[in-house]
Amino acid sequence: MSTPIGPVDATKVPRYAGPATFARLPRIDEVGRADVAVVGVPFDTGVSYRPGARFGPGHVRASSKLLRPYHPPLDVQPFAAQQVADAGDIAVNPFDIAEAIATIERSSDELRDGGTKLVTLGGDHTIALPLLRSLHRDHGPVAVLHFDAHLDTWDTYFGAPFTHGTPFRRASEEGLLDPEHCLHVGIRGPLYAPTDLSDDRVLGFQVIGTDDFQLEGLAAVIERMRARLGEAPVYVSVDIDVLDPAHAPGTGTPEAGGLTSRELLHCLRSLVGVNVVGADIVEVAPAYDHAEMTGIAAAHVAYELISVLGRNR
């Protein structure tokens, strides 16, 4: 195995200079193939409230320049333990959701060919469905570990079946999910009706809400999370609105009472030893961000996931 090519050396090139890739990593065409590819999906046609997540991938990349090559709590150098590269953006049709979904699925198949794992920067949460379709071909039903303020298992919006609030209902209906191991984390806020929760259970999800963090504590929540995931292949989907608006104001559907960035990062860090097969970070809308708070949080989420993949090798 050749020595991985890492990020631009910050002792030689200032952090505000260098390539506009995630963490100033090499482009995928510069390394041939990658163990982990960071790919953007600039798509937000599926949003139901604030638009703007189509600009999320570029914002997260710009906010990732301060990331460093050593992760102390996990004792891993994620860019040395594996080849990580930036695969650029998937160009999707902003006017046709069905065509965009097909493009994302096809591009995921192509990028994952040869065993590459994807860390995808959205974009709105609609993109999770085609990514799960792609993964299902290789792994069969997968467990979704879903960090979000919202369930995203509603049926339709205005009669539309493919939106950012419906991907996991469609995925469950299509048999893409392992109903014994799926979990929402960070759910909070008002719902449309009590049936939202009962329907969600039928689709195969359990729920850890933000109240559980408050009442049980972080360690107990993580124990529940790992017990639910078990040995299943796990897809981690992080809607940045799982964070409280104080930590991530730049998102499309903010809800009060969310997680702190520290709580979220610690949950992700606790996935060492879990069979993580892919991940996304979605719903970063930079027009509503302040001082890159949301972009920086999302960049660190991606860094934690890449570090977990490095430790799991």
239 known member of a binding site: yes
Taking residues 80-107, report their average pLDDT: 98
Is the sign of the CA dihedral 183, 180, 107, 1 positive or negative? positive
Per residue in 24-33, pLDDT (tens digit) is 999 999 998 9
Q: What are the distances in angstroms from CA 88 to CA 30, 64, 109? A: 12, 15, 15
241 known member of a binding site: yes
**Residue % of the chain over a pLDDT of 70:** 100
**Is residue 145 pLDDT above 90, yes or no?**
yes
Q: How confident is the model at residue 2 (pLDDT cuts 50, 70, 90)?
A: confident
Tokens of 108: 């995921």
Cα–Cα distance for residue pair 177/276, rounded to 1 Å: 14
Beta-sheet pairing, 205-209 with 182-187: parallel
Cα–Cα distance for residue pair 53/58, rounded to 1 Å: 10
**Is residue 301 pLDDT above 90, yes or no?**
yes
Taking residues 12-25, report their average pLDDT: 96
Cis before 114? omega within 30 = no
Taking residues 132-161, report their average pLDDT: 97
**Is residue 1 pLDDT above 70, yes or no?**
no
**Is residue 185 pLDDT above 90, yes or no?**
yes
150 known member of a binding site: yes
Q: Out of 3.40.800.10, 3.40.50.10490, 3.40.50.300, 3.40.50.620, select the CATH number for domain 22-311.
A: 3.40.800.10
Per residue in 189-209, pLDDT (tens digit) is 999 999 999 999 999 999 999
Report residue 15 CA to chain centroid gap.
Answer: 24
pLDDT, averaged across the chain = 97
> Domains of the chain: which residue ranges?
22-311
According to the model, what pLDDT value does residue 205 have? Answer: 98
Report residue 16 CA to chain centroid gap.
Answer: 25
Cα–Cα distance for residue pair 21/124, rounded to 1 Å: 20
Tokens of 61: 């990349």
Dump the DSSP string for 163-224.
STTSHHHHHHHTT-B-TTTEEEEEE-S--S-THHHHHHHHTTEEEEEHHHHHHH-HHHHHHH
HSE (side-chain half, CA atoms, 13 Å) at 5: 15
Cα–Cα distance for residue pair 123/128, rounded to 1 Å: 10
212 known member of a binding site: no
**Residue % of the chain over a pLDDT of 90:** 99
Taking residues 113-139, report their average pLDDT: 98
How far apart are the two ends of the chain, measured CA to CA in Å?
13
Per residue in 257-291, pLDDT (tens digit) is 999 999 999 999 999 999 999 999 999 999 999 99
**Is residue 176 pLDDT above 80, yes or no?**
yes
In 3D space, the residue among 139, 4, 84, 14 whose CA is nearest the CA of residue 306 turns out to be: 84
Per residue in 47-93, pLDDT (tens digit) is 999 999 999 999 999 999 999 999 999 999 999 999 999 999 999 99
Alpha helices in the chain (DSSP H): 28-31, 56-63, 97-112, 128-139, 167-173, 195-202, 210-216, 218-229, 261-269, 293-311
Query: What is the pTM for the complete model shown?
Result: 0.98
